[in-house]
Amino acid sequence: MGDQPAVKALVAYESMFGNTERVARAVAAGLRLEGCDTTVLDVSRAGAADLADVDLLVVGAPTHGFSLSRPATRRDAVRQGGRDVVIDIGMREWLDTLVTASRLPLVATFDTRVTKVRYLPASASRRAARILDDHGHQIVAAPTGFLVHAVPGPLEPHELDRAIAWGRGVATESWSRLTPAH
Ligand SMILES: Cc1cc2nc3c(=O)[nH]c(=O)nc-3n(C[C@H](O)[C@H](O)[C@H](O)COP(=O)(O)O)c2cc1C
């Protein structure tokens, strides 16, 4: 860190029941503990992605159907008591609005998923990482899942602590990649 300008981080999330939002805020707390200048953004209210000045983009979304949600799965979540969000815009659609800029932020992705399919073959965070990799972004951490007890939550014990720790790790890795070697 030292005299380096602070790493500017954006934590963008989608959340139908509030669990991914809680994880996103814990990840943001971890990033701030490592000195990142961090903003948290709900993509359902965000409009097109604006990554000007962002050094690190962290993306978090619930796993729906082993992947990122779609309008139909978000509608299903609302039917199950989820927030009445703007159905048309989830993380998949927000990522579609990313334009390829000359200076691409580093990225890291996480998701939430239910405990009983912990070892699922595919997930929202892996899908998001794939999309961002295809856009040419450098990925700084393995896609990670945080566990909820059932579809509406709650988060399993200690997942918020794990999210803070994960955020700290993402921050330190980003600092080292953004700081020119001596
Ligand atoms: C339509 C729908 C499909 C889902 N599919 C999966 C799935 O494939 N794998 C999984 O682990 N969880 C699945 N879930 C559970 C979600 O991952 C869970 O609701 C989410 O992590 C809660 O986060 P949120 O409160 O931020 O929406 C599904 C939930 C819904 C509503």
- What pLDDT was estimated at residue 121? 73
HSE-CB for 36 with a 13 A CA cutoff: 32
Ligand 1 and 74: CB distance under 6 A: no
- The ligand 1 atom nearest the CA atom of 67: 8
Interval 66-105: pLDDT, tens: 999 999 999 999 999 999 888 899 999 999 998 766 678 9
Interval 97-112: pLDDT, tens: 987 666 789 999 999 9
CA-to-CA distance for 147 and 145, rounded, in angstroms?
Answer: 6
Hey, where are the domains in the chain? Answer: 8-178
Q: To which CATH superfamily is domain 8-178 assigned?
A: Flavodoxin domain (3.40.50.360)
How many angstroms does the Cα of residue 89 sit away from the middle of ligand 1? 16
2 pLDDT more than 60: no
User: Do residues 162 and 145 touch, judged by C-beta distance below 8 A?
Assistant: no
Interval 13-61: pLDDT, tens: 999 999 999 999 999 999 999 999 999 999 999 888 888 899 999 999 9
Ligand 1 and 143: CB distance under 6 A: no
CA-to-CA distance for 1 and 174, rounded, in angstroms?
Answer: 11
* Closest residue to atom 3 of ligand 1, CA basis: 64
DSSP code for 43: G
Interval 130-178: pLDDT, tens: 999 999 999 999 999 999 999 999 999 999 999 999 999 999 999 999 9
Ligand 1 and 153: CB distance under 6 A: yes
